[in-house]
Amino acid sequence: MNKSYYTLITGASEGLGKAIAIECASRGMNLLLVALPESGLKNLASFIHKNYEVNVLTFETNLTLEHSGEDLLNFVKHKKIKINTLINNAGVGGTLFFDEADILFFKKQIQLNILNTTTITHIFLAQLKENSPSYILNVGSLSCFFFLPRKQVYGATKSFIYSFSKSLKQEIKKYGVQVSVLCPGGINSNPAQILLNKTGTWISRQSIMSPEKVAQVAINGLLRGKEVIIPGVWNRIFWILGGVVPSFIQNKITMYTMKKIRPNNKYTPHLPQVQG
C-alpha cells in the first residue's frame, strides 16, 4: 500500500458516504474524509483506523461555502498526500413538491449537488492525472433516468451528474483517469430515510438497498472501470424498462403515483436529507 496515496470522499460522515469509506478501508485504501463540522467524522475516522489499519485524515467544512474547495486542496498540500481516488458523494436529497418548498432549499440543492461536484473535480483533476492510474466516482441517482413526482430538482441535478460524468470520462481517459457514475435507487441511509422509504409505492420499495451493499457494488464497479454503475437487480430492470416502455405509459404511471401521494392537493412534505 502506497502510504502517500489517499481516497478523498465527500459527505463521508453518514449513510452511503460512511459505507463507502468503510468499504474502501477494507480494501486497504487510505482515506481523506470530508463532511460538515460536528457530524461525527472524527469518531468514524478513529473507528476505521483502529479496525482497518489504514491512514485516515479528516477535513470538516461546509462545501457550499465559496472557498471550501480551495481550502481542501491547501489541506492536501499541507499534509503532503496524493489523491488518486475522488468520490463525490456529498449532496442534498429531499422529497418535496416544487410549490411547497422554499426556493432557498432548491438553490442549496443545486449548489451542492452540481456546483460542488464540478468544483471539487476541477480542483483535484491535476493531482488525479499526476497520480494515475486514478479514479473518479460521482454519485448520481436512478432518478436521473425518470421524471418522478417530488424529485423534480433533485432528479435534474442527478441528470447533470450523469451527463457530466460520461462526457468527462471521454475527455480524460487518455490520462489514465477512470470516471464512473453511480446510479442507485432508494437507500436506507438513516432512520428517517428508512421510515420515508417504507411509505413509497410498491415499485419504489423494490429499489431500496442498504448503503453497505451499494458501497460494495460501487467500489467493485469503479475499480473495474465500469462507466455506469446501477446496483440491484430491480434497479437494472427499471432502467431497462425505462428505455423501452413508451413515454405515454410512463406518464400515466407518474400521474397515478401523484394522485396517490397527493390526494385533494393535501400533502405534508418530508424533510430533506442533507449530506456533506
Domain assignment present for residue 236? The answer is yes
Q: How far apart are CA 90 and CA 139, in angstroms?
A: 8
Domain assignment present for residue 184? The answer is yes
Q: pLDDT, tens digit, for every residue of 181-227?
A: 999 988 865 544 444 444 455 555 667 889 999 999 999 999 999 99
| % the chain with pLDDT above 70 | 76
Exposed / middle / buried, residue 256 (Cβ in 10 Å: 0-12, 13-18, 19+) = exposed
Chain Cα centroid distance, residue 157: 11
Q: What is the DSSP letter of 142?
A: G
Contact 20, 89 (CB under 8 A): yes
27: helix, strand or coil: coil
pLDDT tier for residue 59 given thresholds of 50, 70 and 90: very high
Domain assignment present for residue 234? The answer is yes
Locate 38 and state its grid cell.
460536528
Structural domain span for residue 182: 5-265
Q: How far apart are CA 50 and CA 18, in angstroms?
A: 15
pLDDT mean over 247-252:
50
pLDDT tier for residue 174 given thresholds of 50, 70 and 90: very high
pLDDT tier for residue 264 given thresholds of 50, 70 and 90: very low
Domain assignment present for residue 132? The answer is yes
118: helix, strand or coil: helix
| pLDDT over 80 (residue 137) | yes
Q: How far apart are CA 115 and CA 265, in angstroms?
A: 33
Domain assignment present for residue 272? The answer is no
pLDDT score recorded for residue 205: 62
Domain assignment present for residue 274? The answer is no
Domain assignment present for residue 273? The answer is no
pLDDT score recorded for residue 212: 96
Q: Rounded mean pLDDT of the chain?
A: 83
Q: What is the CATH number of the domain that holds 11?
A: 3.40.50.720
Q: How far apart are CA 126 and CA 131, in angstroms?
A: 9
Q: How many domains does the chain have?
A: 1
pLDDT score recorded for residue 24: 98
Residue 195: partners with Cβ closer than 8 Å, 6 or more residues away: none
pLDDT tier for residue 92 given thresholds of 50, 70 and 90: confident
The closest alpha carbon to 5, from 23, 28, 22, belongs to 28
pLDDT tier for residue 265 given thresholds of 50, 70 and 90: very low
Q: How far apart are CA 266 and CA 86, in angstroms?
A: 42
Q: How far apart are CA 194 and CA 242, in angstroms?
A: 25
